[in-house]
Amino acid sequence: MIGETLSLQSLSKRFGRTSAVEDVSFNIAAGEFVSVLGPSGSGKTTLLTMIAGFEAPSSGQISIGGRDITAAAPNRRNIGMVFQKYALFPHMTVHQNVAFPLRMRRLDRVAIKDRVRRILDLVQLVGFDDRYPNQLSGGQQQRVAVARALVCEPPVLLMDEPLGALDKNLREAMQFEIKRIQSKLGATVVYVTHDQDEAMTLSDRVAVMCGGTLVQLGTPADIYHRPQSPFVAQFVGKMNFIDGECQRDEAGTCHIRISDRITVAVPSPSLDGAARLQRGRAVKLAVRPENLSFAQPDSATAIPGHIDAEIFVGAFRLYLVRLATIGQPIVQIQLPASTSIGPLRRGGRVDLYASKEAFHVFAAPEV
């Protein structure tokens, strides 16, 4: 294991009046793979450039293996970094690119040759030593970039959307490759991406960022099944939102009125302390498309609506249903492609069901 812990403490970065990163803190264990997930402009790349040392934080502290590196120069941090566009030096061959960090550390010729050969073997690029970057395909360039970042066995590896420039199939192959290399070397990885699938596939934990702040940090399953905010809920996976109003919130069950006649009982949201949702409080009821169905399970409340569209998506079938509830939202229902549910026509009336546990309740922001 070469990985070390990485700890960020109330890290902030302001550019003039705008705040790119605000009070972000988290600890990453040695050898852990953490993705920083967020839409563009969420501050994830700024966070990475601060860890790498290209931007000084406005406030806060960064430490690696317990050593404070907040003020250290980028070349004294011993961090490997893979850039979005790889940033391979165009005037150097593959060998010279990969040997660059070793030469900077003044290793002798024999040791350099040996380590370059070993790392090129690891990324399966043996025999490409004398090529220039512009003679390589995108995937090969990407692997050279990974090899160059890892050849010094840095305890922390940063990756800034390293697969963004590749096409879909290659991207998936490279995800496995990155995971394989990481688990073999045991480096701590911070992986910035806006692709939720990528974050879910690769990571031990996912840090979701929005507007410069860290909104949720947890395992992929945690993020997916227990989103703590509507933003996380709809950014990771698909989520339907149904407007409602709280009627009663007691004994761990919350009764939400979603139309004049329909009230659903769902688990109470986990609010701070013992706080409960106030009666009459506007809420958003969230449920994932795959948790909705047309078949009635036990003791579930029917939510009526009309079919708006049916879409065949290969592995599954997607139905768009306009609900007869407050605001008449359109929700998606995802069913296996094999299930046939009889003649459902556009405009046909249906009842939707979901188990109680499938619902999440978010208090709508107070006006």
Partner 1 sequence: MADVTNRPNEQNFRRPGGSVSRYSPALSLALVAPLMLLMSVGFLYPIGSLIKLSLFTPALDLTSYRKIIEQPIYLSVMARTFRIALFVTITSFMLGYPVALAMASLKRRLAAAAAAAVFIALWSPVLVRSYAWIVLLQRNGVANNVMTELGLIEAPLKLIYNEGAVIIAMTHVLLPFMVLPIFAALRSIPQEYVCAARSLGAGASTAFLRVTLPLSLPGVFAGCVMCFILALGFYITPALVGGPRTLIVATLIGQQATVLLDWPFAAALSTVLLITTLIMVLVFRKAFSRSKGFASVD
Tell me how far, at minimum, the Cβ of 95 lies from partner 1, in Å: 13
* Interatomic CA distance for residues 97 and 90, integer angstroms: 9
Among 39, 56, 59, 85, binds partner 1 (CB under 8 A): 85
**Residue 360 interacts with partner 1 (CB under 8 A): yes or no:** no
Cβ at position 78, least distance to partner 1 in Å: 8
- Alpha-carbon distance of 127 to 10, in angstroms, equals 46
What are the φ and ψ backbone dihedral angles of 348, each rounded to 5 degrees?
-65, 145
Do strands 79-82 and 156-160 pair parallel, antiparallel, or not at all (unpaired)? parallel
CB of residue 312 to partner 1, shortest distance in Å:
31
Is residue 226 within 8 A of residue 218, CB to CB? The reply is yes
Q: Does 83 bind partner 1 (CB under 8 A)?
A: yes
Which parts of 274-313 interact with partner 1 (CB under 8 A)? none
**105 part of the interface to partner 1, by CB under 8 A:** yes
Sheet containing strand 33-37, edge to edge, reads 79-82, 156-160, 188-193, 33-37, 205-210, 213-218
CA 231, CA 233: separation in Å to the nearest integer? 5
Per the structure block, which two tokens stand in for 6? 């990485």
What minimum distance in Å lies between the beta carbon of 10 and partner 1? 24
Is 80 near partner 1 (CB under 8 A)?
yes
Distance between CA atoms of residues 6 and 74, nearest Å = 15
Tell me: does residue 318 bind partner 1 (CB under 8 A). Answer: no
Which of these segments, 25-33, 89-97, 173-181, 232-240, binds partner 1 (CB under 8 A)? 89-97
DSSP state letter for 364: P
Q: Which amino acid is at 135?
A: Q
From residue 197 to residue 236, what is the string marking binding to partner 1 with x (rule CB under 8 A)? ----------------------------------------
Concatenated DSSP letters for 172-210? Answer: HHHHHHHHHHHHHHT-EEEEEES-HHHHHHH-SEEEEEE
The smaller minimum CB distance to partner 1, of residues 67 and 238, is found at: 67
Helices (H) and strands (E) in the chain, counts: 8, 19
* Residues touching partner 1, count (CB under 8 A): 34
Binding of partner 1 by 101 (CB under 8 A):
yes
Q: Is 104 left (phi over 0), alpha (psi -120 to 50) or beta?
A: alpha
Q: Which of 65, 138, 186, 230 binds partner 1 (CB under 8 A)?
A: 138
CB of 132 to partner 1, least distance (A): 5
Q: In sequence order, which residues have a C-beta less than 8 Å from that of residue 345 and are 6 or more positions away?
A: 307
Bridge-based pairing of strands 316-323 and 263-267 is: unpaired
CA–CA gap between residue 3 and residue 187 (Å, rounded): 4
> Per rule CB under 8 A, is residue 15 in the interface with partner 1?
no
- The correct pick among 91, 168, 261, 345 for binding partner 1 (CB under 8 A) is 91
Q: Which is nearer to partner 1, 148 or 288 (CB)?
A: 148
Shortest separation between residue 83's beta carbon and partner 1, angstroms: 5
For partner 1, the binding residues in 45-74 under the rule CB under 8 A are 49, 52-54, 73-74
* Among the listed residues 25, 27, 59, 75, the single contact to partner 1 using CB under 8 A: 75
Shortest reach from residue 68's CB to partner 1, in Å: 18
Stretch that binds partner 1, among 9-17, 88-96, 269-277, 298-306 (CB under 8 A): 88-96
Length, in residues, of the chain: 367
Q: Which of 13, 77, 95, 257 binds partner 1 (CB under 8 A)?
A: 77
State the residues that interact with partner 1 by CB under 8 A: 49, 52-54, 73-75, 77-81, 83-85, 87, 89-92, 100-101, 104-105, 132-135, 137-138, 141, 148-149, 152
